[in-house]
Amino acid sequence: MSFSTIILILIVGVVLYLIAIYNKFVSLQAGIDAAWSDIDVQLKRRYNLIPALVNVVKGYKDYEAGTLEKVIEARKMSMDARTPADKSAAESLLGASLGRLFALAEAYPDLKADSQFLNLQSELSSIEDAIQNARRYYNAIVRDYNARLKSFPDVLVADKYHFTSREYFELDESEAAAVKTMPEIDLS
Protein backbone atom coordinates (compact mmCIF):
# COMPACT_ATOMS: atom_id res chain seq x y z
CA MET A 1 0.00 0.00 0.00
CA SER A 2 1.25 3.41 -0.84
CA PHE A 3 1.49 6.28 1.58
CA SER A 4 -1.28 8.19 -0.23
CA THR A 5 -3.63 5.19 0.06
CA ILE A 6 -3.02 4.97 3.81
CA ILE A 7 -3.70 8.72 4.17
CA LEU A 8 -6.88 8.37 2.10
CA ILE A 9 -8.07 5.45 4.26
CA LEU A 10 -7.38 7.48 7.41
CA ILE A 11 -9.25 10.51 6.05
CA VAL A 12 -12.22 8.36 5.04
CA GLY A 13 -12.17 6.71 8.48
CA VAL A 14 -12.16 10.07 10.28
CA VAL A 15 -14.96 11.41 8.07
CA LEU A 16 -17.08 8.31 8.70
CA TYR A 17 -16.42 8.62 12.44
CA LEU A 18 -17.50 12.29 12.40
CA ILE A 19 -20.64 11.35 10.45
CA ALA A 20 -21.41 8.71 13.08
CA ILE A 21 -21.04 11.31 15.84
CA TYR A 22 -23.33 13.71 13.98
CA ASN A 23 -25.92 10.96 13.44
CA LYS A 24 -25.79 10.07 17.15
CA PHE A 25 -26.59 13.69 18.07
CA VAL A 26 -29.49 13.69 15.63
CA SER A 27 -30.74 10.39 17.06
CA LEU A 28 -30.51 11.67 20.64
CA GLN A 29 -32.35 14.86 19.71
CA ALA A 30 -35.13 12.79 18.14
CA GLY A 31 -35.27 10.69 21.33
CA ILE A 32 -35.50 13.82 23.46
CA ASP A 33 -38.33 15.17 21.31
CA ALA A 34 -40.19 11.86 21.49
CA ALA A 35 -39.71 11.65 25.26
CA TRP A 36 -40.98 15.22 25.67
CA SER A 37 -44.00 14.27 23.57
CA ASP A 38 -44.67 11.36 25.97
CA ILE A 39 -44.55 13.76 28.93
CA ASP A 40 -46.88 16.12 27.10
CA VAL A 41 -49.40 13.33 26.47
CA GLN A 42 -49.45 12.38 30.16
CA LEU A 43 -49.79 16.01 31.23
CA LYS A 44 -52.70 16.48 28.82
CA ARG A 45 -54.39 13.42 30.33
CA ARG A 46 -54.05 15.07 33.73
CA TYR A 47 -55.23 18.45 32.41
CA ASN A 48 -58.33 16.74 30.98
CA LEU A 49 -59.05 15.04 34.31
CA ILE A 50 -58.86 18.20 36.42
CA PRO A 51 -62.14 19.82 35.23
CA ALA A 52 -64.06 16.65 36.14
CA LEU A 53 -62.43 16.67 39.57
CA VAL A 54 -63.32 20.35 40.06
CA ASN A 55 -66.92 19.67 39.00
CA VAL A 56 -67.27 16.86 41.53
CA VAL A 57 -66.01 19.16 44.29
CA LYS A 58 -68.37 21.94 43.12
CA GLY A 59 -71.24 19.54 43.66
CA TYR A 60 -70.78 19.88 47.41
CA LYS A 61 -72.52 22.93 48.84
CA ASP A 62 -69.74 24.23 51.08
CA TYR A 63 -66.78 23.97 48.72
CA GLU A 64 -64.17 26.71 48.79
CA ALA A 65 -64.34 28.57 45.50
CA GLY A 66 -60.88 30.11 45.97
CA THR A 67 -59.23 26.69 46.06
CA LEU A 68 -60.99 25.60 42.87
CA GLU A 69 -60.09 28.84 41.11
CA LYS A 70 -56.43 28.34 42.01
CA VAL A 71 -56.51 24.80 40.59
CA ILE A 72 -58.09 26.03 37.36
CA GLU A 73 -55.61 28.93 37.09
CA ALA A 74 -52.63 26.64 37.77
CA ARG A 75 -53.94 24.18 35.14
CA LYS A 76 -54.13 26.96 32.55
CA MET A 77 -50.61 28.18 33.38
CA SER A 78 -49.25 24.66 33.05
CA MET A 79 -51.04 24.09 29.75
CA ASP A 80 -49.61 27.35 28.37
CA ALA A 81 -46.00 26.63 29.44
CA ARG A 82 -43.78 25.47 26.58
CA THR A 83 -40.19 24.99 27.74
CA PRO A 84 -39.16 22.34 30.26
CA ALA A 85 -38.16 25.05 32.77
CA ASP A 86 -41.49 26.89 32.43
CA LYS A 87 -43.38 23.60 32.52
CA SER A 88 -41.50 22.56 35.68
CA ALA A 89 -42.44 25.77 37.49
CA ALA A 90 -46.06 25.57 36.35
CA GLU A 91 -46.33 21.88 37.26
CA SER A 92 -45.01 22.59 40.76
CA LEU A 93 -47.72 25.23 41.19
CA LEU A 94 -50.37 22.85 39.82
CA GLY A 95 -49.21 20.08 42.16
CA ALA A 96 -49.47 22.40 45.15
CA SER A 97 -52.96 23.52 44.05
CA LEU A 98 -54.12 19.93 43.65
CA GLY A 99 -52.66 19.16 47.07
CA ARG A 100 -54.83 21.93 48.55
CA LEU A 101 -57.85 20.54 46.69
CA PHE A 102 -57.31 17.11 48.21
CA ALA A 103 -56.77 18.67 51.62
CA LEU A 104 -60.12 20.39 51.15
CA ALA A 105 -61.69 16.99 50.46
CA GLU A 106 -60.45 15.83 53.86
CA ALA A 107 -62.71 18.45 55.46
CA TYR A 108 -65.78 17.03 53.71
CA PRO A 109 -66.40 13.37 54.61
CA ASP A 110 -69.19 13.05 52.02
CA LEU A 111 -66.86 14.28 49.28
CA LYS A 112 -63.97 12.02 50.17
CA ALA A 113 -66.38 9.05 50.21
CA ASP A 114 -67.96 9.97 46.85
CA SER A 115 -67.32 7.16 44.34
CA GLN A 116 -66.81 9.52 41.40
CA PHE A 117 -64.27 11.52 43.44
CA LEU A 118 -62.49 8.32 44.44
CA ASN A 119 -62.38 7.11 40.82
CA LEU A 120 -60.96 10.43 39.64
CA GLN A 121 -58.46 10.36 42.48
CA SER A 122 -57.34 6.86 41.51
CA GLU A 123 -57.01 7.82 37.86
CA LEU A 124 -54.99 10.90 38.84
CA SER A 125 -52.65 8.70 40.87
CA SER A 126 -52.13 6.46 37.85
CA ILE A 127 -51.43 9.47 35.63
CA GLU A 128 -48.95 10.84 38.18
CA ASP A 129 -47.03 7.55 37.99
CA ALA A 130 -46.97 7.75 34.19
CA ILE A 131 -45.75 11.36 34.33
CA GLN A 132 -42.98 10.40 36.72
CA ASN A 133 -41.84 7.53 34.48
CA ALA A 134 -41.94 9.69 31.35
CA ARG A 135 -40.00 12.43 33.16
CA ARG A 136 -37.29 9.96 34.25
CA TYR A 137 -36.88 8.67 30.70
CA TYR A 138 -36.76 12.20 29.24
CA ASN A 139 -34.17 13.32 31.79
CA ALA A 140 -32.04 10.22 31.11
CA ILE A 141 -31.91 10.97 27.38
CA VAL A 142 -31.17 14.65 28.06
CA ARG A 143 -28.35 13.59 30.43
CA ASP A 144 -26.81 11.33 27.76
CA TYR A 145 -27.15 14.01 25.08
CA ASN A 146 -25.69 16.77 27.27
CA ALA A 147 -22.78 14.52 28.29
CA ARG A 148 -21.94 13.81 24.64
CA LEU A 149 -21.96 17.55 23.93
CA LYS A 150 -19.01 17.93 26.29
CA SER A 151 -17.12 14.76 25.36
CA PHE A 152 -14.15 14.78 23.04
CA PRO A 153 -14.24 14.47 20.01
CA ASP A 154 -18.05 14.87 20.05
CA VAL A 155 -17.68 18.45 21.24
CA LEU A 156 -16.01 19.32 17.93
CA VAL A 157 -19.02 18.13 15.93
CA ALA A 158 -21.45 19.69 18.42
CA ASP A 159 -19.80 23.09 18.16
CA LYS A 160 -19.50 22.98 14.38
CA TYR A 161 -23.18 22.07 13.87
CA HIS A 162 -24.55 24.15 16.75
CA PHE A 163 -25.95 21.35 18.87
CA THR A 164 -26.87 22.94 22.19
CA SER A 165 -27.64 21.49 25.59
CA ARG A 166 -31.21 20.67 26.54
CA GLU A 167 -33.05 21.44 29.75
CA TYR A 168 -34.08 18.81 32.25
CA PHE A 169 -37.72 18.53 33.29
CA GLU A 170 -37.48 18.77 37.05
CA LEU A 171 -39.92 19.31 39.84
CA ASP A 172 -39.02 20.67 43.23
CA GLU A 173 -38.52 17.51 45.32
CA SER A 174 -41.06 18.59 47.96
CA GLU A 175 -43.59 19.40 45.24
CA ALA A 176 -42.85 16.14 43.43
CA ALA A 177 -43.48 14.24 46.66
CA ALA A 178 -46.73 16.16 47.20
CA VAL A 179 -47.89 15.43 43.65
CA LYS A 180 -47.05 11.76 44.02
CA THR A 181 -48.62 11.29 47.43
CA MET A 182 -51.59 13.63 47.25
CA PRO A 183 -53.98 11.07 45.74
CA GLU A 184 -53.26 8.66 48.60
CA ILE A 185 -55.81 9.91 51.13
CA ASP A 186 -56.62 7.81 54.17
CA LEU A 187 -60.37 7.13 54.07
CA SER A 188 -60.66 5.61 57.53
User: Could you tell me where the beta strands, DSSP code E, fall in 25-72?
Assistant: none
- Note the pLDDT of residue 9: 95
Mean pLDDT, consecutive 10-residue stretches, the chain (188 aa), reads 92 95 97 96 93 83 76 92 90 89 79 84 91 95 96 94 94 52 42
Question: What is the distance between the alpha carbons of residues 169 and 135, in angstroms, rounded to a whole number?
Answer: 7
In the chain the domains, ranked by start, together with CATH numbers, are: 3-181 (1.20.1440.20)
- Note the pLDDT of residue 69: 87
What is the identity of the amino acid at 174? Answer: S
- Note the pLDDT of residue 178: 47
- Note the pLDDT of residue 63: 66
Please tell me the pTM assigned to this model.
0.80
